[in-house]
Amino acid sequence: MSSEKCNKPNCNCSCHEPLENAIGHKKEHDGGRRDFLKYVGLGAVGLGLGPAVSYWLQEQGKINEIIKNPAIIKGKANRFTILHTSDIHGQLDIHDEFFWENGKPVYKKRGGFATLKTMVEELRKQNPLNTLLVDGGDCFQGSAMASLTMGTAIVPLANKLNYDLVLPGNWEVAYGKQMLLHDMNNYTAAKVCANMYDNDDLDHDLMFPPYQIFNLGGTRIGFIGYNDPLTPVRQSPAYSNGIKFTKPEKNMEKYVKLLREEKKCDMVFALTHMGLSQQVHLANQKCSEGVDYILGADTHERVREPLQGKYSKVTEPGAFASFVGKLDIVIEDGKIKDEVYELLEVDPEKYAEDPDMKHSVEKAKKPFKKILNEVLGQSKTPLLRYYIIETPMDNLITDAVMWKFKTDIAVSNGFRFCPPLVPDPKTGLADITREYLWSMLPVNSEVKTADVKGKQILNWLEKELENAFSKDASKRFGGWFVRFNGMQVTFTIGNEKGKRVQQVCIKNEVLDPERTYTMVACERDGDPDNVLCRMLNVHNPVSQGILLHSVLEDYLAEFSPVSPKIEGRAIATDASPELLTQALAGINYQFR
């Protein structure tokens, strides 16, 4: 018997385990505002096939493998479908999306909640009583509407998609614990997370149910949820105040056993938000024995064929509502007889925008429309952030910060959020609006300067490279390598920890370990004064009293149109500057 308590506000029940769910009769149990204004700035039946298969799925071909399964045709087996989104990051509208085709970037229009609504409903029609829609986290952070409303504008729109199950992601803590609980509890979907605790009592105070069970046409399916245990280190420490995280290895085996043996689940899924490297690592750990699939998230990877670990398969469905992962399973006599996975694109040319959802999005944005539509500047080159080593978008940001403060080094974190922005082919320009600035920098942090020794820089760079490329995948942060201006760093990814940096030049001179350099970066809320961008024991730290958005606005007013591009600020001796994913030993995977 699980001992986790119910934390839902005003709930007086004495239950000690999550309520189970049946489609159409769903119940959930789960467990607020910090001073965020500084960062806002602007103030079962299902044995048959249901309706005829849609024209779009007919084109795909893969679904026919399920439809033609003899056991399904004869009514001897159950088929269920899981639709999986993640890392939407508050992106409500159709946007430019990046693809890698034939060795070069290609941009297409994808996403939008109104497009996603139509697509999800179309997919549900193929298996109407036996389809689950789940989200793997980072839904209500990452855009202007998310940041300016601390997620409250996004959750009602997500509810209109009729999710069945949701997991909090690492960025869902950005508004503090109370707003996390407020936003999560406003989901109509069931919640799940087995490694986020309300205080130091790791035996009784889970913030959300550790597992949920769904019954689909006689098939019992169990879900366990896990957020990234490295969240308090990766992000501003203040975000996680009052929240304790543990590794999945602490209790995963216990819950798998409970779901399999006591709850008699036919299949068990782990819904996780840990990054592809950590998720593949988890799939190879003994605690994952009995987990059929790890439905992953966090690193925005586009897994088009499930990655097979020792014990479990791993998927991840991209980001920004540009993709939906679709898994069809056939169960006969409690055993998997067939399974087909597809990564489907949310393509507005194939799915017309749902009018009601489109109206709801426009209504939510209306109070902010004038401000958000303000054009701050323009770019002649695509702004994107998909590359791991160096990106045009972060070069723009560090260019602006360097221009404003004229230090030796300007640094930006290795973020992944924000869709691309591509110049109009007719004008050759892309408008950088205030709304897009919020997508680039959803946390409008204060700028901070400090003095740092050359040897500190070397040690810090080694730590940051270890965070991105550790040979122990469980220690990899979800973000990419830090971005900077003023330095040129040459490194070797494949080297051992502490031995990756080959050379560092600052202002075209080789770094002197004993020399003192000036550095500027954003201040992380909750860090000690002598910490700058995870660099410890800096000297003469000074908060500059200006927010990053103001710096970018001033820079664009002075230099627009801008033309940021990759220019060799960071060079890997053993990888392309256009590296798009962390290396995964023994796994055949490419981002495209």
Q: DSSP assignment of 316-357, as one string?
A: -B-STTSEEEEEEEEEETTEEEEEEEEEEE--TTTSPPPHHH
Would you give the DSSP letter of residue 297? Answer: -
Confidence check: pLDDT of 28 > 90: no
Pick 198 or 117 by higher pLDDT.
117
In the block, residue with structure tokens 């997370």:
193
Helix, strand, coil percentages in the chain from 3-state DSSP, rounded to 5: 25, 25, 45
Confidence check: pLDDT of 565 > 90: yes
Euclidean distance between CA atoms 202 and 244, whole angstroms: 8
Confidence check: pLDDT of 160 > 50: yes
SS3 592: coil
Euclidean distance between CA atoms 492 and 500, whole angstroms: 5
pLDDT interval class at 585 (50, 70, 90): low
How many residues are present in the chain? 592
- The reported pLDDT for the residue numbered 58 is 38
Tell which phi-psi region holds residue 469, choosing left (phi > 0), alpha (psi between -120 and 50) or beta: alpha
Confidence check: pLDDT of 5 > 50: no
CA 180, 183, 187, 190: dihedral to nearest 10 degrees?
10
SS3 290: coil
Confidence check: pLDDT of 296 > 50: yes
488 and 568 Cβ atoms separated by less than 8 Å: yes
- The reported pLDDT for the residue numbered 69 is 62
Q: Taking residues 396-412, report their average pLDDT.
A: 97
Euclidean distance between CA atoms 449 and 407, whole angstroms: 8
Euclidean distance between CA atoms 162 and 509, whole angstroms: 57
Euclidean distance between CA atoms 221 and 209, whole angstroms: 15
Confidence check: pLDDT of 75 > 70: no
Euclidean distance between CA atoms 378 and 375, whole angstroms: 8
Average model confidence (pLDDT) across the chain: 87
- The reported pLDDT for the residue numbered 396 is 98
Would you give the DSSP letter of residue 17? Answer: S
Confidence check: pLDDT of 326 > 70: yes
pLDDT interval class at 312 (50, 70, 90): very high
Confidence check: pLDDT of 27 > 60: no
Euclidean distance between CA atoms 391 and 539, whole angstroms: 29
Q: DSSP assignment of 122-185, as one string?
A: HHHHTSTTSEEEEE-S--SSSSHHHHHTTTTTHHHHHHTTT-SEE---GGGGTT-HHHHHHHHH
Least confident stretch, 70-84, 317-331, 355-369, 444-458: 70-84
Q: Which long-range contacts (CB under 8 A, 24 or more apart) does 374-377 make?
A: 374/433, 374/434, 375/431, 375/432, 375/433, 376/432, 376/433, 376/434, 376/437, 376/552, 376/553, 376/556, 376/557, 376/560, 377/432, 377/555, 377/556, 377/557, 377/559, 377/560, 377/561, 377/562
Single-letter residue type at 310: K
β-pairing verdict for 244-245 and 196-197: antiparallel
Q: Exposed, middle or buried: residue 98 (CB in 10 Å: 0-12, 13-18, 19+)? A: buried
Confidence check: pLDDT of 437 > 50: yes
Least confident stretch, 139-148, 199-208, 213-222, 433-442: 199-208
Pick 415 or 316 by higher pLDDT.
316
pLDDT interval class at 64 (50, 70, 90): low
Instruction: Enumerate domains of the chain plus CATH numbers.
Output: 71-359 (3.60.21.10), 376-572 (3.90.780.10)
- The reported pLDDT for the residue numbered 61 is 53
Q: What is the 3-state secondary structure (H, E, C) of 524-560?
A: CCCCCCCCECCECCCEEEEEEEEEHHHHHHHHHHHHC
What's the token pair of residue 346?
A: 């949310």
Confidence check: pLDDT of 135 > 90: yes
Any residues with CB less than 8 A from the CB of 52 and at least 6 apart, and which? none
In the block, residue with structure tokens 């050359």:
454
pLDDT interval class at 403 (50, 70, 90): very high
Q: Taking residues 183-199, report their average pLDDT.
A: 96
pLDDT tens, position by position, 283-293? 999 999 999 99
Confidence check: pLDDT of 227 > 80: yes
377 and 144 Cβ atoms separated by less than 8 Å: no
pLDDT interval class at 66 (50, 70, 90): low
Find which of 205-219, 235-249, 393-407, 571-585 is predicted with most confidence, using mean pLDDT.
393-407
Would you give the DSSP letter of residue 473? Answer: G
Q: Taking residues 264-275, report their average pLDDT.
A: 96
Q: Taking residues 78-92, report their average pLDDT.
A: 96
pLDDT interval class at 8 (50, 70, 90): very low
pLDDT tens, position by position, 335-384? 888 899 999 999 999 999 999 999 999 999 999 999 999 999 999 999 99
Residue 220: name the closest of 167, 255, 166, 259 by CA: 259
Q: Taking residues 212-225, report their average pLDDT.
A: 93
Pick 549 or 9 by higher pLDDT.
549
What's the token pair of residue 229?
A: 């245990």
Confidence check: pLDDT of 120 > 70: yes
pLDDT interval class at 62 (50, 70, 90): low
Confidence check: pLDDT of 475 > 70: yes
- The reported pLDDT for the residue numbered 3 is 35
Residue 384: name the closest of 84, 591, 112 by CA: 591
499 and 428 Cβ atoms separated by less than 8 Å: no
Euclidean distance between CA atoms 317 and 273, whole angstroms: 11
- The reported pLDDT for the residue numbered 490 is 98
Euclidean distance between CA atoms 477 and 464, whole angstroms: 9
H-run or E-run covering 364? helix 355-365
pLDDT interval class at 71 (50, 70, 90): low
Residue 279: name the closest of 172, 167, 158, 183 by CA: 167
Q: Exposed, middle or buried: residue 210 (CB in 10 Å: 0-12, 13-18, 19+)? A: buried
Q: Which residues pair with residue 375 across a beta bridge? A: 433
Find which of 46-50, 121-125, 415-419 is predicted with most confidence, using mean pLDDT.
121-125
Report the share of the chain in percent with pLDDT over 70: 85
Pick 592 or 57 by higher pLDDT.
592
Any residues with CB less than 8 A from the CB of 500 and at least 6 apart, and which? 462, 465, 466, 469, 491, 492, 493
Confidence check: pLDDT of 531 > 80: yes
Euclidean distance between CA atoms 254 and 257, whole angstroms: 5
Q: Taking residues 309-324, report their average pLDDT.
A: 97
What's the token pair of residue 171?
A: 């960025």
Single-letter residue type at 576: S
Euclidean distance between CA atoms 358 and 115, whole angstroms: 9
What's the token pair of residue 280?
A: 């593949």
Confidence check: pLDDT of 17 > 80: no
Would you give the DSSP letter of residue 11? Answer: -
Any residues with CB less than 8 A from the CB of 366 and at least 6 apart, and which? none
How many CB atoms are located within 10 Å of the residue 590 CB?
9
Radius of gyration of the chain (CA): 24
Torsion 205-229-588-327 (CA) sign: positive
